[in-house]
Chains A and B, each alone.
Chain A
Amino acid sequence: MTTVTGARHGVAFWLQLGFTLLVCMLLVAPMLLSLLAGVTENYLVGIESGLTTRWIAEVLRGYSDTILLSLQVALACLAATLVLGVPVAYVLARRGNWLTRLFEELLTMPIAVPGLATALALIITYGGVGEFRRSWLFILVGHVLFTLPFMVRSVLAVMSAVDLRTLEEGAASLGAGFARRFFTIVLPNSLPGILSGSLMVVTLSIGEFNLTWLLHTPLTKTLPVGLADSYASLRIEIGSAYTLIFFVMVIPLLLLLQALARFGQPPR
């Protein structure tokens, strides 16, 4: 679809470029404003009131536990989705029958079903198990359900693209048994998918709110839960500084993900 007809562009090109830039501004403007507000002494007065890091320091003082818990949940979620998801993707890639397709369909349901509903269902079923309900593992379970389909899809996409069957038959013809093939052929060739899936899982887990809001307890607050608190009850500068910290955590992951998508595609 690339039209490379020299450097001359028509009116249509400039109109569409202008429109796209406008859309981009709509998306970026509030991000910039909130970054600015996070380091402004008094947002109502404006930038003239001076720049400061005290709001960021205040957030780090008051909410560092939420940041740490979010990281802890995200990494645990990553480990769980790797252990659970990669074998599933492998089986889906190698065996296409009605049963595996059904399972694939079911696995994606937690994306389709609103997080609120899933969280409610979890509370109704396991809310009575006090130890479990009060621990951070309760949140982890929700995050694993929500992120697992992303891991499976990402790995499956790469596995389907590299023609795993032929590679494995080649390895088997050379005498490699299943375990050896899985670790020396399957995993290395699926690495781009595993990497992008991992980034996706960590990013989504750090930002998850719909499930977490119902699953958390006063002692298990994650970053987005803290964000919601700060938006509701604290001054706009603190909410902004908190958001700034969230951006700093998430945007590098997103940029990595995009770079991976651009350069990590298997050669055709």
Chain B
Amino acid sequence: MIQSGIGSRVLALALVAPAVAVFGAFFLLPLARLFVVGLSGPEGWRTYAAVLVEPRYLESLVSTMLLAAAVTAVTLAIAGTSGLFLARNRFPGRALLVALLTFPLVFPGVVIGFMVIMLAGRQGLIGTLSEQVAGQRIVFAYSMAGLFLGYVYFSIPRVLLTVMAAAEKLDPQQAEAARALGARPWQVLVHVVLPALKPALLSAGAICFATAMGAFGTAFTLATRIDVLPMVIYTEFTLQANIAMAAALSFVLGIVTWLALSLARSLAGTSVAAAA
């Protein structure tokens, strides 16, 4: 059907029309409204400026970005190591290990928060163990550290799967060629394998960053006192009823996460093209 000519174009339009209508009415239009409402407060456009000027919001924005960056770096290191290992080796029990490692993929933020409480909360595993070993109960679930643990917990499966999929697609002959030329295992890793995985690492890292920026459920479960941006937005909206500020902050948050993803995609895209 869809080769060329008027008929096929009409058909293509007819096929996408329902999705376009739903998407336009319930996403694009509301997003535009969000932007306008952000302008409609008593401060006008200065509501947006406040995000960058008022210390409370700026601090929250910066600390959220730092948290997201730290989560991304740590997750890439952990899941990159394990993902590469699992992709390159076959051993009994491997399939089970992969299945276990990917469970948290579909847990909502609230459940992740609860997992953090189970690990580092007042009745948590870490607390119990540390009390037995050092005589002191270590509890950090209800702080930035707990949130960090939760986001790493949540992000490991996705990065792991991305790295594994990319590593399995690598041409094994490239690593063999490097070895034939005298490269040691670490040189093969640094010169050949990691550059080939760069697109996958970039895109996995960007998703990781964006999720950590915008996630709400985990912070909500752990405490209302952690001043990450989504919590600030929620507070502005429900407690302060400052809808304009909440809208402006949401819009800025959306822009930051969307930019992170687009940037990574275009970076990964060019290096993918170079590898083709």
A residues bordering B, Cβ < 8 Å? 1-4, 12-13, 16-17, 19-21, 23-24, 26-31, 33-34, 37, 43-44, 80, 83-85, 87-88, 90-91, 94-95, 103, 106-107, 109-110, 112-118, 120-122, 124-126, 141, 144-145, 148, 168, 172, 178, 181, 203-204, 207-210, 213-214, 224, 227-228, 231-232, 236, 239, 243, 246, 250-251, 253-255, 258
Determine whether the beta carbon of B172 is less than 8 Å from that of A2. Answer: yes
Determine whether the beta carbon of B26 is less than 8 Å from that of A113. Answer: no
User: Contact check: which of B91, B230, B243 meets A124 at CB < 8 Å?
Assistant: B243
Residues of chain A contacted by B81 (CB below 8 angstroms): 16, 19-20
| A148, B26: Cα distance in complex, Å | 13
Residues of chain A contacted by B29 (CB below 8 angstroms): 125
Tell me if B82 is interfacial: C-beta within 8 Å of chain A: yes
| Apart from the given pairs A208-B108, A224-B110, 4 other A-B contacts in the complex at a CB distance below 8 Å | A148-B19, A207-B107, A209-B217, A243-B111
| A87, B17: Cα distance in complex, Å | 10
Listed by A's residue number, 18 A-B pairs whose Cβ atoms lie within 8 Å are A21-B97, A23-B79, A26-B153, A29-B125, A84-B18, A116-B234, A118-B30, A121-B33, A124-B30, A125-B30, A145-B23, A168-B1, A207-B108, A207-B111, A228-B220, A239-B114, A255-B99, A258-B102
Residues of chain A contacted by B172 (CB below 8 angstroms): 1-2
B residues bordering A, Cβ < 8 Å? 1-2, 11-12, 15-16, 18-20, 22-23, 26-31, 33-34, 37, 78-79, 81-82, 85-91, 97-111, 113-119, 123, 125, 153, 156-157, 167-168, 170, 172, 175, 185, 193, 210, 213-217, 220-221, 230, 233-234, 237, 243, 246-247, 250-251, 253-254, 257-258, 261-262
Tell me, rounded to whole Å, the shortest Cβ–Cβ distance linking A25 to chain B: 9
Determine whether the beta carbon of B16 is less than 8 Å from that of A88. Answer: yes
Determine whether the beta carbon of A20 is less than 8 Å from that of B86. Answer: yes
User: Contact check: which of A4, A95, A116 meets B2 at CB < 8 Å?
Assistant: A95
Determine whether the beta carbon of A236 is less than 8 Å from that of B102. Answer: no
Whether A112 contacts B257 in the complex (CB less than 8 A), given A29-B125, A33-B125, A43-B123, comes out as yes
Determine whether the beta carbon of A121 is less than 8 Å from that of B31. Answer: yes
* Interchain residue pairs A-B with the least CB separation, the first 10: A114-B214, A121-B30, A117-B250, A30-B118, A87-B15, A121-B34, A113-B254, A30-B115, A209-B108, A207-B108
Residues of chain A contacted by B87 (CB below 8 angstroms): 1
Tell me, rounded to whole Å, the shortest Cβ–Cβ distance linking B186 to chain A: 10
| A3, B89: Cα distance in complex, Å | 6
Determine whether the beta carbon of A228 is less than 8 Å from that of B217. Answer: yes
Tell me, rounded to whole Å, the shortest Cβ–Cβ distance linking A56 to chain B: 16
Q: Who on chain A is nearest to B4 by CB?
A: A95
| A258, B106: Cα distance in complex, Å | 12
Q: Who on chain B is nearest to A16 by CB?
A: B85
| A16, B78: Cα distance in complex, Å | 11
Residues of chain A contacted by B26 (CB below 8 angstroms): 122, 126, 141, 144-145
User: Contact check: which of B37, B88, B111, B117 meets A2 at CB < 8 Å?
Assistant: B88
Tell me, rounded to whole Å, the shortest Cβ–Cβ distance linking A12 to chain B: 7
Tell me, rounded to whole Å, the shortest Cβ–Cβ distance linking A251 to chain B: 7
Tell me, rounded to whole Å, the shortest Cβ–Cβ distance linking B47 to chain A: 14
Q: Who on chain A is nearest to B17 by CB?
A: A87
Determine whether the beta carbon of A144 is less than 8 Å from that of B22. Answer: yes
Residues of chain B contacted by A209 (CB below 8 angstroms): 108-110, 216-217
User: Contact check: which of B33, B89, B234 meets A125 at CB < 8 Å?
Assistant: B33
Residues of chain B contacted by A227 (CB below 8 angstroms): 108, 110-111, 114
Residues of chain A contacted by B153 (CB below 8 angstroms): 26-27
Whether A254 contacts B119 in the complex (CB less than 8 A), given A20-B86, A117-B214, A228-B220, comes out as no
Q: Who on chain A is nearest to B246 by CB?
A: A120
Determine whether the beta carbon of B214 is less than 8 Å from that of A88. Answer: no
Determine whether the beta carbon of B258 is less than 8 Å from that of A124. Answer: no
Q: Who on chain B is nearest to A92 by CB?
A: B16
Tell me, rounded to whole Å, the shortest Cβ–Cβ distance linking A29 to chain B: 6
